[in-house]
Structure 1
Amino acid sequence: MTKVYPHKHTSYSNCMAYERETYTIWMKSLIFHSNGCTIYDSNGDIVYRVDNYDKKGTTQVNLMDLQGRVLCTIHKRLLGFGGWDVYKCKSHEKAWFQVKRCYKMMMMGKLTWQIMVGTQKYCMERIGGKTAFRIINIDGDVVAKGKQKHSSTGIVLGNDVLTLEVEADVDHSLIMAFVTVFGLICGRM
């Protein structure tokens, strides 16, 4: 049984990963009849969650920690044709980062999105099937990649269960916000 309220509490809200971390993302909400996702760390503890109480594909969702504290709010720009603005902790003054579709890459057959975090740039691209993706920094280094999860015996789990590998020296909450936007883009939440 998964630990919902672990005895040892670790705050992931603005934490840099000094080691590579592997997460499990279950594209289901903990709330009955709600859309969203639940993110577990490598110990099986819930560390992040997204609960979308509205209909699937809504224009606004919140990324929260285990205690329900809002880490960021994600808004879809209705006139932006694939644009997303992400605000820290329900602050709507200035976007933490923005995501927009790369139409130039679509012409080459790749589904990619550009992410602007201040002066930093990232690229998120879908690879292989519907659920596999990777996040690349401006230097071309892969900082995180997600794919369909396999059990320890090699059995492929459902397409709503993903493994996310995050490289060292990366802000966990930033990567989880990227992944949340990806889930919304793909219509998974």
Structure 2
Amino acid sequence: MTKIYPNSPISSFQDPEISLESEPKVLTVWRKSLLFNCSGFTVYDGKGNLVFRVDIYPSSSRNDIVLMDSAGKPLFTVRRKKLSLADHWHIYDGEAVTERPRFSARKHLTLLPYKSNSKEVARVMPCRGPGSKDGPIYSVEGSFSQRACVVLDERRRQVAEIKRKEAVEGATFGGDVFRLVVQPGLDAGLAMAVVILLEQMFGSRASTIKG
């Protein structure tokens, strides 16, 4: 079996913020939990160190998904908005889902797709409240199911990309292992939260992460 990660999963990644770096961060995303009988994601950096993890127990709610760092500290919680007829989600900092969400995300719906020239499949917007400042709006274009999509900011600059992992020694990877390339200035944790959203919206089973 081709090795996906070279180092032990207990290796630590100190800081998911990449705004001070000048080079893109290339992460390997594995659509699988490290824990037995759990579903989720495991994410490694270019040196094979564990960066992020998502562990969903069979008895836990599929509408609340927590992104953690390598030490198990909650970074973001992705939660489906209640009583929503469409795919409408919120992103919270940490596990503080009782606080105001940081971002709101919607799946792009087109009633007449043959009349639409838009490549947008989802949009992530800041949740603005009294006294809050405007934040960035991110647009996702492409095909997540094909592992070929990009995240663009309001100026249509590419800030992240999801793409297939290159074949290694003749061995090819399916859709369960792919690359997440994050540009300087974007929080890699937030980029991974967007990946979780896209899995919920466009995965093989909507609203379900498989192990």
Structure 1 residues 14 and 22 mapped into 2: Cα distance closer, same or farther (>3 Å)? Answer: closer
Among 84, 92, 100, the residue aligned to 2:89 = 84
1:38-187 matches, cutoff 5 A: 38-54=42-58, 58-80=62-84, 81-91=86-96, 92-104=98-110, 107=113, 108=116, 110=119, 112-117=121-126, 118-127=134-143, 130-153=146-169, 155-187=171-203
Among 11, 14, 17, the residue aligned to 2:14 = 11
- Give the strand-richer structure, 1 or 2: 1
Match in the other structure for 2:131: none
Determine helix, strand or coil for the equivalent of 2:40: strand
Structure 1 residues 183 and 33 mapped into 2: Cα distance closer, same or farther (>3 Å)? Answer: same
Q: Which runs of 5+ in 2 are unaligned?
A: 1-5, 127-133
Cα RMSD between the aligned structures? Answer: 2.4
Structure 1 residues 96-130: Cα deviation after superposition (integer angstroms, max 9, x where no partner): 11101222497227461110135310011233853
1:101 maps to a residue whose letter is: K
Shift of 1:26: 0.3
The answer (yes or no) to whether the contact 2:120–2:139 under 8 Å persists in 1 is no
Q: Look at both structures and tell me which one has the larger radius of gyration over its CA atoms.
A: 2
Shift of 1:64: 0.3
| Structure 2: distance between partners of 1:74 and 1:156 | 30
Structure 1 residues 74 and 113 mapped into 2: Cα distance closer, same or farther (>3 Å)? Answer: same
Structure 1 residues 179 and 139 mapped into 2: Cα distance closer, same or farther (>3 Å)? Answer: same
Tell me, yes or no, if structure 1 residue 24 matches structure 2 residue 28: yes
Structure 1 residues 12 and 68 mapped into 2: Cα distance closer, same or farther (>3 Å)? Answer: same
The answer (yes or no) to whether the contact 1:2–1:45 under 8 Å persists in 2 is yes
TM-score between the two structures when normalised by the length of structure 2: 0.79
Moved more, 53-62 or 65-74: 53-62
Structure 1 residues 185 and 157 mapped into 2: Cα distance closer, same or farther (>3 Å)? Answer: same
1:41 maps to a residue whose letter is: D
| Structure 2: distance between partners of 1:50 and 1:106 | 36
1:86 maps to a residue whose letter is: I
TM-score between the two structures when normalised by the length of structure 1: 0.87
The answer (yes or no) to whether the contact 2:79–2:91 under 8 Å persists in 1 is yes
Q: What percentage of aligned pairs have identical amino acids?
A: 26
Number of equivalenced pairs: 187
Shift of 1:13: 4.3
